[in-house]
Amino acid sequence: MAIYVWLINLLDSKSKMTLKEISQAWSRSSLSFGEELPRSTFNYNRNAIREILGINIVYDKKSRKYSLKQDSLSSEAAKDWLIDSFTTFNQLTMNRSLENRIIFESVPSGREYLSDIIDAMKENEVLDITYKGFYSETLPKEYAFMPYGMRIFRSRWYVIGAKENTQSVFSLGLDRIIDLKHTGRKFVLPKNFSLEKYYKDCAGVIADRNVPVRHIVLNVKKPSTQKYLISLPLHQSQQVKVNKDNSCDFSYDVRPTFDFLQSIMMLGDDVEVVSPADVRADIREKAKNVVKLYEGKQATKG
């Protein structure tokens, strides 16, 4: 796998290269032990990269150069995520002495269903899913579920789709799936469905169409929080305006669902909702409820 990452990163940074240039670059890398890259080895890894990662290395006969072409991946972000993941894995593999000096964020259970869901997506197969959400006090629910796509949000995997013979799209957290079975029944993926468009106006995994898109403005005075939001936007629509007092207004065109409001609350008193008034009132009410938890109470010894 190390050569996959090396080859992708090389072509990503150099744009176009001949096989000779690639081979010479390989001989200078720490992975090659000074040897050049034979054509047969290059072609083998080129095919493997296409099959495993969905990234196509194309050949231009006129210039006799190879370059990267996004193939089956839905977005540049997906390609970057895969490359980063493989790069990290290979760096750790080659530097095992550093394992106890690196901590990874724990991903909740549910990974055991990843391959089954991906296989079902590939075959457009209906899945029988037994599911119990966090907010449900009733018995687990049974879904004949058509998996349209997947995403990861805050270290949790979600599958997005609809119940069989319906059109209402929603998401299920993999860590809340109790059981999953293949049915063998096929479904037709709607021609106009796009996961990117489905989440275009949403910050998070909740895409509630009953919540309208709003123009939301946040004021941030602390420079460190300004830099944090610039480096990691709450939503792709983020725009930044610097004010005369050196504070910044961050604006978004987004649905103010639970996920987005929770992101604002996580920033605490570093952020003030300027508009619209109803979103400001909602955050103010949540802040009041937090204060009520602590007012008149003494901390327990521990």
Query: pLDDT of 203-212, one tens digit each?
Result: 988 888 889 9
- What's 172-237 look like in SS3? EEHHHEEEEEEEEEECCCCCCCCHHHHCCCCCCCCCCCCCCCEEEEEEECCHHHHHHHHHCCCCCC
Which of 43-47, 106-110, 180-184, 204-208 has the highest mean predicted lDDT (pLDDT)? Answer: 180-184
How far apart, in whole angstroms, are the C-alpha atoms of residue 177 and residue 127?
A: 12
Which percentage of the chain shows pLDDT scores above 70?
84
State the pLDDT confidence band at 113, using cuts at 50, 70 and 90. confident
pLDDT, position 29: 79
The pLDDT mean for the chain works out to: 86
Which residues touch 55 (CB under 8 Å, ≥6 apart)? Answer: 8, 49, 68, 69, 70, 71, 73, 79, 82
Full set of structural domains in the chain with CATH: 2-94 (1.10.10), 111-198 (2.30.30), 214-293 (3.30.70)
pLDDT, position 264: 96
Q: What share of the chain is helix, strand, coil (3-state, %, to 5)?
A: 40, 25, 35
Nearest C-alpha neighbor of 133 from the set 177, 179, 181: 177
Query: pLDDT of 132-162, one tens digit each?
Result: 988 776 789 999 999 999 988 887 889 999 9
Judged against a pLDDT cut of 80, whether residue 97 lies above it is answered with: no
> Where is pLDDT greater, at 159 or 2?
159
> Where is pLDDT greater, at 149 or 91?
149
The pair of structure tokens assigned to 181 is 């079975």
pLDDT, position 134: 83
Q: Would strands 156-163 and 141-153 be described as parallel, antiparallel, or unpaired?
A: antiparallel
pLDDT, position 208: 87
- Quote the crossing angle between the two packed helices 277-294 and 258-266, to the nearest 10°: 60
Secondary structure class of 52 (helix, strand, coil) = helix
Nearest C-alpha neighbor of 7 from the set 64, 67, 65, 59: 67
How far apart, in whole angstroms, are the C-alpha atoms of residue 204 and residue 235?
A: 9
How far apart, in whole angstroms, are the C-alpha atoms of residue 160 and residue 170?
A: 6
Element (H, E) at 79: helix 76-94
The pair of structure tokens assigned to 266 is 């996580």
pLDDT, position 72: 42
> Where is pLDDT greater, at 70 or 84?
84
Query: pLDDT of 215-269, one tens digit each?
Result: 999 999 999 999 999 999 999 999 999 999 999 999 999 999 999 999 999 999 9
pLDDT, position 106: 67
State the pLDDT confidence band at 299, using cuts at 50, 70 and 90. low
> Where is pLDDT greater, at 110 or 177?
177
